[in-house]
Structure 1
Amino acid sequence: MHQVKLADNIYYLGYNDRRTHLFENIWPIPNGVSYNSYLIDDEKVALVDTVERAFIDDYLEDIDAILEGRPVDYLVINHMEPDHSGALRAIVMKYPNITLVGNKKTFGFVEAFYMKPVNTLEVNDNSVLELGKTKLQFQTIPMVHWPETMVSYEETNKILFSGDAFGSFGTLDGGVFDDEINLEFYENDIMRYFTNIVGKYCPHTQRAIKKLAPLDIKMIGATHGPIWRTNLDWVLSRYNKWSTYTTDPGVVVVYGSMYGNTQKMAEVIARQLSVRGIKDIRVYDASKTHKSYIINDIFRYKGFIVGSCAYNNAMFPNVENLITTVQHMGVRDHLLGVFGSFAWNGGGVKNLMKFADSCGWEMVADPVEEKGALKAEKYQKCIELANAMADKILAE
């Protein structure tokens, strides 16, 4: 295999997963995902994170090819999630004298997932590990997105090994560095990775960005996705935007419909939004589109209009699943509209209003609910709902 270097003595060890369909067994990854580890070959040898266990054999072979029999002295554990610590046990078995480097929360996870660690080095904010000419400085960034998460800053070449922060879905198809790939192609996977995986912890992400701001960072090596060496502002500015809930002037319309009546309401609303000059409108059937993609656009656009038919006196199940996830994510600062229909009893709109009451978003109009097929009166109410949303969007 090609050896990829970040610096004279720092190697990229990354592997493309094109087989897994669901990341964390939840989120679709049609473009796959990469698992990235890094090796520092100095007077002392250090690995920074490992890889998913499916790649252990290739990982150990590639380490051997670089070190030619030398042992690994340190394993720096920035993040303990198993897609990055999956080879930890294999590394410890191959290098029994290795020292595991982590913060005070790290080693409890090591014991819980793998084994009771023997040789450990506990580090804190601003701790430095000297490997020779290479020095690693550590900073904890808890809840981005696990409590033990930290980053390692290589002082000589000014490389930030950032764990999951600034990562991405998508395999690295030949290009490993950001200036070797088409960023436009990767942008949606980068955002979806943030919104699906890190997005619940936006306030913690903001704290991490501020905490790391004093560092002179020339390169970022995340545990997924490309290595950033040229377009750092591209990814840093986007993370700052997304983690402050800064949105674009568009509207996401989502509906759950059994027999098409609630869908007709969604179509009326969407058309009127367009008539009013809203360019970015995304209409989703909650039964067809995975919530991963819908949540991504909810983060992206200011307006959210959601509709549900009644289903056993409750919300339509796929709408309820989406709404539960949005609540879990803690998304803030949006404009909200609600609509729906029922046949013999209500439940869809009533339960959507519980979400409206709890989420803290601004309701742009009263909810619109129709019995059976869409008729003239509620058709006009759908127009008014769309107009109220457009008025708010266009005024910002």
Structure 2
Amino acid sequence: MRITDDILYVGVNDHNIDLFEGQYIVPNGMAYNSYVINDEKIAVMDTVDAAFGDEWLKNIADVLNGATPDYLIIQHMEPDHSANIQKFLEVYPNIKVVGNAKTFTMIGNFFRDLKLADENKLEVKNKDTLTLGKHELTFVFAPMVHWPEVMVTYDSKDKVLFSADGFGKFGALDAEEDWDCEARRYYVGIVGKYGAQVQNLLKVAATLDIQTICPLHGPVLTENLEHYIGQYNTWSSYGTESEGVMIAYTSVYGNTKKAVELLAEKLKEKGCPKVVVTDLAREDMAEAVEDAFRYGKIVLASTTYNGDVFPFMKTFIEHLTERNYQNKTIGLIENGSWASMAGKVMTGMFEKSKNITWLETSVKIMSSMDEQNKADIEKMAEELM
């Protein structure tokens, strides 16, 4: 695939993977992107997952048509992007690996028997440039987006930002699916903790004339870039992307579920633009976490369990707080047949979260709903509007 006259795509699609990073369901696979900049000096941008080394090397050989690369630029050392560094050097032993100091430390840690000679290394610092001929590359460090060695690369000739894991998404390139949904799930799950660092990178990006974004996962972005950048700004500032209410619940015998269903019904009657109801025991946890960040208002409904909160709810809240969940409004529905503790536990789990607004109305069920619970649910729905 040709991206510009001189930039070519040499990545691969993975339809064999079941869980990305050992935890995220990827029904439409993954893309591991790599690019070649063909100039007086030839640069290859990143490698791919270990299982696809031969396919990747063939892709490179096909587009180079007998030419030899001069540089292998490593923007990110996660193995789905760096696994073939040693294999690449076996085929092209005279190239220079381009990275920063942390990159080379990680190369030593991942490849114990690879001894990179000085002539095979080009260590760059933040804002350093590399001229390939017509193309001048500027390296911009992006620490903790989402590893400490990450850097992105800007090509001033074709106005291309090679964005590392930024602007990536789940799904292979031959899968037709909505970018926002799978990019949001990818961002929240993998990068979501590091909003401040993403904001810093976006400030740098705002100073550049970017016409194309080439991420390490997902499609090359060439149109409507303000939308994608705007989404990243919302996600990384922990803003509200969509108006509506998410209700996340756990229920053992169905009584908490009945309360949730009543609340959802009341919200819809009052014209709530979107009501998302999620059974945390049965639905994909990553999807649930994504929705919790997407909407500005959330209701947590859980039974008390062993003097604590139900395990799936605890896991859900842990996913939120470890990703710096903030700037949200939260309501609580708790159920305890003899000693309600779920509300207290859930509240305590957010004690370090920033800018959390708690609804004045909460609902405390003792085994099953009574008339007071129904009245409180009506009141909660009103407060959420």
Q: Does 1:334 align with 2:328?
A: yes
Partner of 1:122 in structure 2? 123
Q: Distance in 2 between matches of 1:67 and 1:375?
A: 73
Q: Does 1:199 align with 2:192?
A: yes
Aligned with residue 280 of structure 2, among 286, 307, 310 = 286
Deviation at residue 366 of structure 1 after TM alignment = 4.4
Q: Does 1:252 align with 2:246?
A: yes
1:164-217 per-position Cα deviation (integer Å, ceiling 9, x unaligned): 11111121127xxxxxx77xx232112212222222111111110101211111
1:232-277 per-position Cα deviation (integer Å, ceiling 9, x unaligned): 1221121112222221221100001111111111112211222222
Aligned residues of 1:170 and 1:186 also touching (Cα < 8 A): no
Specify the SS of the correspondent of 2:126.
coil
TM-score by length of 2: 0.94
Q: Distance in 2 between matches of 1:66 and 1:28?
A: 33
Q: Distance in 1 between matches of 2:320 and 2:381?
A: 22
Partner of 2:5 in structure 1? 8
Q: Distance in 2 between matches of 1:383 and 1:203?
A: 38
Letter of the 1:164 counterpart? D
Q: CA RMSD in A?
A: 1.6
Aligned with residue 210 of structure 2, among 207, 217, 236 = 217
Q: Distance in 1 between matches of 2:259 and 2:334?
A: 8
Partner of 2:25 in structure 1? 28
Q: Distance in 2 between matches of 1:93 and 1:369?
A: 65
| Aligned residue pair count | 379
Aligned with residue 228 of structure 1, among 218, 221, 226 = 221
Partner of 1:208 in structure 2? 201
1:361-386 per-position Cα deviation (integer Å, ceiling 9, x unaligned): 10012432212111112222222222
Q: Distance in 2 between matches of 1:272 and 1:160?
A: 47
Letter of the 2:377 counterpart? C
Q: Distance in 1 between matches of 2:340 and 2:244?
A: 29
Q: Distance in 1 between matches of 2:379 and 2:352?
A: 24
Q: Distance in 1 between matches of 2:3 and 2:347?
A: 52
Cα 1:331–1:116 shift into 2, 3 Å: farther
Letter of the 1:209 counterpart? L
Aligned with residue 104 of structure 2, among 85, 103, 107 = 107
Letter of the 1:60 counterpart? L
Specify the SS of the correspondent of 1:5.
coil
Partner of 1:370 in structure 2? 365
Specify the SS of the correspondent of 1:340.
strand
Letter of the 2:371 counterpart? A
Deviation at residue 116 of structure 1 after TM alignment = 4.5
Partner of 1:141 in structure 2? 142
Cα 1:116–1:278 shift into 2, 3 Å: farther
Partner of 2:88 in structure 1? 91
Aligned residues of 1:16 and 1:34 also touching (Cα < 8 A): yes
Partner of 1:309 in structure 2? 303
Deviation at residue 104 of structure 1 after TM alignment = 2.1
Letter of the 1:150 counterpart? M
Partner of 1:381 in structure 2? 376
Specify the SS of the correspondent of 1:250.
strand
Deviation at residue 356 of structure 1 after TM alignment = 4.0
Specify the SS of the correspondent of 2:11.
strand
Letter of the 2:147 counterpart? W
Larger mean Cα displacement after TM superposition, 78-87 or 242-251: 242-251
